[in-house]
Structure 1
Amino acid sequence: MSTDIQVEIIHKETITPSSPTLPHLKVVELSFLDQFIPDVYVPLILFYPNHTDGEVDTNHQSLIEEKSCILRASLSETLTHFYPLAGKFQYNDSICCDDRGAAFIEARVNCGISKILKNPDTEILKCLFPAAVESTQALTGHLLLVQVNFFDCGGMAIAINISHKVADAFTFSTFIKSWSAAALGPSSTTDHPVLPVEFGVAASHYPPQDFLNSPKPDMKFIRRKCTTKRFVFDASRLTALKSKAASASVPNPTRVEVVSALIWKCAMEASRSNLGSIRPSLWCQAVNMRRRSGQAFTENILGNFVWYFAAITVESEVDLQSLVTKFRKSIEDYKVNYPNGLPAEDAYQSIKESGNSWAKRGIDNYICSSWCWFPFYETNFGWGKPYWVSLPSLQSKNTVILMDAKGGNDIEASLTFLEEDMAIVENNQELLAYGSFNPSVI
């Protein structure tokens, strides 16, 4: 994408909750799972094109003011229910819900929105966000930051940074759904989500631990050597991929299983090609524990309520069927071992041991998070549903994020690998047979 795109900040303010947080909710204890998460931001951007990407309307400025007013008022209302997002961290064990607020930024972009949608560039997307992913709350002063980008054509992109220590993908999705419902107002026919009465429920299951109860050093990213690329797997080719990956052990693999297996296979081949040797490869897949705890009241827990299951391979030759089988066995083992949810003691011990085992030389580690089935494409603030929902480029090595593409049947994958590995992955013919490399959104 051309680097002549300019983003001009035209307004900044702090949005506070519409009602003060009640005294008994002023401190929210972090769970052990929250403590373990690094102090970084989860990013998401939603694009809303104008109906016509043509000349600027004469009342363009008034429309900007109207949209901004609705977004600010509805965000203030939503923060009343999501009050920890308007607070600050107290060390690494709790949030002081002092209603300091969230950052709200307005910006003008000197081009039409189609310029970005026709030629998506995850690196360029970063300039539309209010903060870098690797920033901390101490640096930005907020746990939630929003930047509303207004394009010359009348299109709009809403970029959101939310502290990962406060929110996983489920919590992020619930917040956005609640915010858009507030913007539509009570006359909307959209089902309003169940709003949380209070945060901190996860801490009753996984109490904070002293060995994590202190400020942590900033998370270090491998900036110079990492690159992020985007692949889209459409429904028809996903069907073909499922057929190829199916076996007697897993006759009907899921979309996430087959895409994960294909990406893992390509990443392993790239790593081994560059190293000139074979070494073990570990794939960690995030698991939403809300429906795997065996207890109904955990279904809508907010905060971080995610664990990981791991699949490992040491074979010199791997195929899709065997990798999918490893995924399925890992998740089935989780169900068998933890029918009533992951015990806190097991989680604590696993985290203590993982720091040593994952850091061992000679093991390739990959982390995958699936955001599929979260209704980001249903986010309507009053101007229709988003045309594209995406992420900026990341700096965390060997990270894969899967999302539904528009329509719900396709998958959009964001891959972050070392540059030398990505150079091989992005030209892998098996990957390109099933996934399109950075296709136009329009």
Structure 2
Amino acid sequence: MEMHFYPIPCNRSYLLRNSMIRRGLTRRHLHVISKSKTNIKPASPTPLKLKPYILPLHDLGLAGPYTPIIFFYSNLQPLASKAIRPDLLKNSLSNTLSKYYPLAGKLSSSGSRVEYNDQGIDFFEAQVACKLSEFLEKTPTKDEEDGYGHLCPPGTIWGKLLSSCNLMAVQLNHFSCGGIAIAVSLSHCIGDALTLLSFLSYWASLCLNPDKKEKLVHLSPTFVHELQQSAPPSCNDDLTASEFSNSGAYTKSVLMHSVNMRPLIDPTLPKTTVGNLIASNHVPTTTMNETRLSTLIARMKKGKMQLKGTNSLVGKENMALVEKYAKTNHNLYLISSICNFPLYDEMDFGWGRPVKAAFVDIPMSNFAIMMDTPSGDGINTIIGLEEQDMKNFLADKDLLAYASFLV
């Protein structure tokens, strides 16, 4: 299996400089010729009889930034001509919002619930004056003038959601070669990455087969407004004990891996369940020996097994756990994975599967996001580190032995 790392130092100028030196690239300008905006509302009004969508406690623990993802399509199949693609996307999006009705609503001023006002979502359309191949030849960052930011809905690259803003936004980008990129940003306060990908799977399937809605029942969303019962057991309860065991020779650290709880919670939930149904498998370390790969893997497996059978996420808020470790002076290392999630074959809107899917950026340092490669035989990992840590990472001989860096 191939592994590719996309290093993203927190010092953005270092990323650009390092990229140009390694590959001899000159700076490109991703010139957006024009951009328009349309508001897409649900095809049918949200029924008044529905109960308010109250955000679960584990969702309230999140800051609520947008999660931005982009899908690139180059060899477009003739099923949908260039002229009608936007209409196909808009019509199917409108019908999808009727199913995912909370996403067309508004976050209340308190941030605790979604109001069903059917305000819809913003759909941007941009004309880009470069070929898709030119853009894909290197991985840009969010704040380069030729970066991913121009391909995303304005203000949605890990930007914090305001109560007056949409919970989701979309941008369709047309490249000069005929290729396109579809960028979608979902507020993290209402759903995790699987929620976003489930939404996109339904939207793509409906766009591909608009007359076969009845066959999409298996892709329909499930809403869980409240999860009853007490807090689940911690997957690693040795945090308190580790605060007396640090000798000072090793800086305390903790590896935190986000786990999809839908198949682990009791009773199990459909994969299309909407919400932030994740928990952290956290492994604190206080000595260098505890960071050995075999030791970490064994503890992570044990932690995930302890999460199985959990009947509630109340009391297991991820941000609370992050704050707890920060107060005890642990260095935090976070990992999120969407491997084995619907990412490529399910994203055919009528013109083939995407040639690439990418998260735009990562929200902090010491953070990694893993995803499958388009071919399915490897893993792409986006890594964010401080500048000096990144230099050491890029020079690691063990990593270089089986992985490649794409900077």
Tell me which interval the TM-score lies in, with the shorter structure as reference length: 0.7 to 0.9
Cα deviation digits, residues 220-271 of structure 1 (max 9, x gap): xxxxxxxxxxxxxxxxxxxxxxxxxxxxxxxxxxxxxxxxxxxxxxxxxxxx
What runs of 5+ residues in structure 1 fail to find an aligned partner? 53-58, 208-275
Q: Report 1:303-342 matches (<5 A).
A: 303-317=275-289, 318-335=291-308, 339-342=309-312
Q: Could you say which residue in structure 2 is the equivalent of 1:88?
A: 106
- What whole-Å deviation, never above 9, does each CA across 1:269-294 have from its counterpart, x for those lacking one? xxxxxxx9621220111111111112
- Residue of structure 1 equivalent to 2:53: 28
* RMSD of Structure 2 on Structure 1 (CA): 2.8
Aligned residue type for 1:152:
S
Question: Once the 2 structures are TM-superposed, how far is the Cα of residue 195 of structure 1 from its aligned partner?
Answer: 4.6
Q: How many angstroms apart in 2 are the aligned matches of 1:375 and 1:190?
A: 20
1:297 is displaced (CA, Å) by 4.7
C-alpha spacing 1:186/1:202, structure 2 compared with 1 (3 Å): same
Q: Contact 1:286/1:369 (CA < 8 Å) preserved in 2? A: yes
Distance 1:434 1:278 in 2: 28
Residue deviations 1:163-221 (CA, integer Å, cap 9, x gap): 1111111111110000001101256799635354663x1424379xxxxxxxxxxxxxx
Q: Is the 8 A contact 1:50 1:153 kept in 2?
A: no
Which segment drifts farther, 152-161 or 420-429?
420-429
Residue type at the aligned position of 2:379:
I
Is the partner of 1:359 in helix, strand or coil?
A: helix
| Structure 1 residue corresponding to 2:151, chosen from 118, 124, 128 | 128
Q: Is the 8 A contact 1:122 1:391 kept in 2?
A: no
State the match for 1:375 in structure 2. 342
Distance 1:78 1:365, change over 3 A: same
Does residue 375 of structure 2 align to residue 407 of structure 1? yes
The aligned counterpart of 1:360 is: 327
1:167 is paired with a residue whose SS is coil
Equivalent position to 1:347, from 312, 316, 329 = 316
Equivalent of 2:182 in 147, 158, 163: 158
Q: 1:65 to 1:139 in 2, by over 3 A?
A: farther
Pairing 1:417–2:388 present: no
| Structure 1 equivalent of residue 38 of structure 2 | 13
Q: Structure 2-normalised TM-score?
A: 0.80
Q: Does 1:192 align with 2:229?
A: no
- 1:362 deviates by 3.6
Aligned to 1:103: 122
- Partner Cα separation in structure 2 for residue 154 and residue 328 of structure 1: 46
Unaligned runs of 5+ in 2: 1-24, 231-247
Give the SS at the match of 1:121.
coil
- After TM superposition, the structure 1 stretch with the greater mean CA deviation from structure 2, 144-153 or 83-92, is 83-92
Equivalent position SS for 1:205 = coil
SS at match of 1:290: coil
Report the CA distance shift for 1:185/1:103 in structure 2 as closer, same or farther (over 3 A): same
How far, CA to CA, are the matches of 1:399 and 1:330 in structure 2?
20
Work out whether residues 168 and 186 of structure 2, in 8 Å CA contact, stay in contact via their aligned partners in 1.
yes
TM-score (norm 1): 0.74
Give the AA of the match of 1:347: K
**More deviation in 367-376 or 291-300?**
291-300
